[in-house]
Structure 1
Amino acid sequence: MQTGCQGCRRDSGFPLAFSMAFQPIVDTRAGTIFGHEALVRGTAGEGAGSILSKVDADNRYWFDQQCRVKAIELASRLFPAGGDTKLSINFLPNAVYEPRACIRQTLETAGRVGFPPDNIIFEFTENEPLDTAHLLRILTTYREIGFKTAIDDFGAGYAGLSLLAKFQPDIVKLDMDLIRNIDTNPARRAIVAHTLAMLADLGITALCEGVETEAEFDTLRGMGAHLFQGYYFGKPVFEGVGAWG
């Protein structure tokens, strides 16, 4: 385990073994798979809840570190060799004590298995209160190293627009609650249309997640979106990657 800071040394380990499933992110403008999001699973493919329910303040550093390692190791074997397929990894901001110390194992793993760091996207969700100053230090450090960054579940969290005013990530993933039935819901269409325009003005790529139907996809594509994720394009594949198109 890393020993880069006092917080890291306090971690007590994680009680369960786990693995990853990968869900495709598609670029319909280019007609390709842009990347895959790594989603934690039990070792027999059990749902994320069976693992995440065991994460607490005493083991979250170890869990966060091992998620990164597992995702990168699997991606190095599953993704096309020599390509630019992106790997999106969720991280826990509260598990990062000192950004440069806590990133060492990630970089060492990428180097060991030959996975390009600039093909890694670190995404975080804003569904719990965050120390914004600490989060900004993490995001700035990751950008300096060469990683891409993303906000997940945008529109359902705490930081929202105030965070975007301080830091513009590479990607913003629109929360699936905004996407659901957007083809029949004028309020959702108005909100998403203005959000897409705002992100374009900020130079941020929008990713619509949770797309489940052709009607949702057609509506969003007609609004200018081109990065998508959801069951309509492919379900998560346990320790594997699915095809699209």
Structure 2
Amino acid sequence: MNKLTQTIAINSESKHHACSGCNDEIELDFDFEYAFQPIVNINAKTIFAHEALVRGPNGEGAQTILSQVNNQNTYKFDQACRVKAVKTASEINLEGMLSINFMPNAVYRPELCIRTTLEAAKKYNFPTKNIIFEFTEQEFIEDSSHILGIVTEYKKLGFMTALDDFGAGYAGLNFIADFQPDLIKIDMGLIRNIDKSKSRQSIVKATCRMCEELNIKIIAEGVETKEERDMLASYGIYLFQGYLFCKPSFKANGHVNEDAWI
């Protein structure tokens, strides 16, 4: 799946808006909901987190909602998304942590734009320590110092950070050198058929060694076969996401396929 079509963001046109607090009455011309896909710990056989993925009110695909977002409503959509992700996670007693996508270039002042999330977490009694913010490597990073400010502010407030789609975008190893997120998600392009690809095996093994030295946890995303799972597990990776384990569950916790565990 294309994470860019599922990312919740404030675009450059929204930088002139003042960030506001939690508001269940944010007015939009359309409704939306969330599906949640588990990220599992295969060693403990538990759910580590769920990633929140935008869906239509009846479970329609993300694009049916994102096609209605424009320069006039993007800021409101972003605020509504942050609130709804936390609210829904609280309502369904989400198992594990909650992972929310965002685009770094859209956050112009992290200490202000995070208020919506903080107030929603307080209102719905959802611990901030259970929230992960994923930022995608597929977005061009205009100002590296700005990203450092976001990561620093989010960590200071108790949020975990994750770099999504590692190996597929602009930032590459320079990004890891400058910013050490808590987690990186290896792009599914490197995961697919890794059991049959020597080049993918070499790249992922090198990434594992690097992350071990930097104390960064790895999530293998888009895992679809047991052969992929076994190869990745042999490198010491134990956090997995993908259809092998569970597809996204609409407004509900995911239930991991029992035969997906090692």
TM-score past 0.5 threshold? yes
Q: How big is each residue's C-alpha offset from its partner over 1:40-75, in whole Å with a ceiling of 9 and x where there is no partner?
A: 011111111122233344433222222211110011
Tell me the residue number matched to 2:203.
191
Question: Which deviates more, 71-80 or 38-47?
Answer: 71-80
Q: Tell me the alpha carbon deviations over residues 140-174 of structure 1, each in whole angstroms, 9 at most, x when there is no partner.
A: 10000000000000000111211111110000000
Q: 1:55 aligns to what? A: 69
Q: Which residue of 2 aligns with 1:87?
A: 98
Give the 3 Å change call, closer, same or farther, for CA 122–242 of structure 1 in structure 2. same
SS in 2 for 1:43: coil
Change (3 A) 1:10 1:220: closer
- Aligned counterpart, 2:169: 157
Q: Is residue 159 of structure 2 the alignment partner of residue 147 of structure 1?
A: yes
The equivalent residue for 1:182 is: 194
- Amino acid aligned to 2:253: V
Matched-pair contact (CA < 8 Å) for 2:221–2:240: yes
Q: Distance in 1 between matches of 2:194 and 2:15?
A: 47
Does residue 102 (structure 1) correspond to residue 81 (structure 2)? The answer is no
1:200 and 2:212 are equivalent in the alignment: yes
Structure 2 residue 17 is the aligned partner of structure 1 residue 8: yes
Aligned length: 238
C-alpha distance in 1 between matches for 2:46 and 2:19: 43
CA distance in 2, matches of 1:79, 1:50: 27
Report the Cα offset of residue 114 of structure 1: 0.4
Q: 1:6 to 1:185 in 2, by over 3 A?
A: closer
Percent same amino acid at aligned positions? 53
Letter in 2 for 1:144: K
1:13 & 1:166 partners in 2: Cα distance? 39
**CA shift digits 1:56-111 (9 cap, x unpaired):** 4443322222221111001112135xx7x110000122332211111111111100
**Alignment map for 1:27-42 (pairs within 5 Å):** 27-42=41-56
- Relative to structure 1, the CA distance from residue 61 to residue 32 in structure 2 (aligned partners, 3 Å threshold; closer, same or farther) is same
Please give the per-residue CA displacement for 1:149-200, whole angstroms capped at 9, x wherever unaligned.
Answer: 0000000011121111111000000000000001111111111111111111
2:6 alignment counterpart: none
Is the 2:103–2:139 Cα contact (8 Å) retained in structure 1? no
Q: Are positions 1:138 and 2:147 aligned together? A: no
User: Is contact 1:10-1:58 (8 Å) kept?
Assistant: no
Deviation at 1:13, TM superposition (A): 6.9
- 8 Å CA contact 2:19, 2:112 repeated in 1: no
Give TM-score scaled by structure 1 length.
0.91
Q: Which residue of 2 aligns with 1:122?
A: 133
Scaled by the length of structure 2, what TM-score is found? 0.85
Instruction: For residue 207 of structure 1, report the CA deviation from its aligned partner.
Output: 0.2
Hey, what's the Cα distance between the residues in 2 that align with 1:232 and 1:153?
A: 18
Residues 160, 69 of structure 1: CA spacing in aligned structure 2 closer, same or farther, 3 A cutoff?
same
In the alignment, the residues of structure 1 paired with residue 71 and residue 146 of structure 2 have an alpha-carbon distance, to the nearest angstrom, of 17
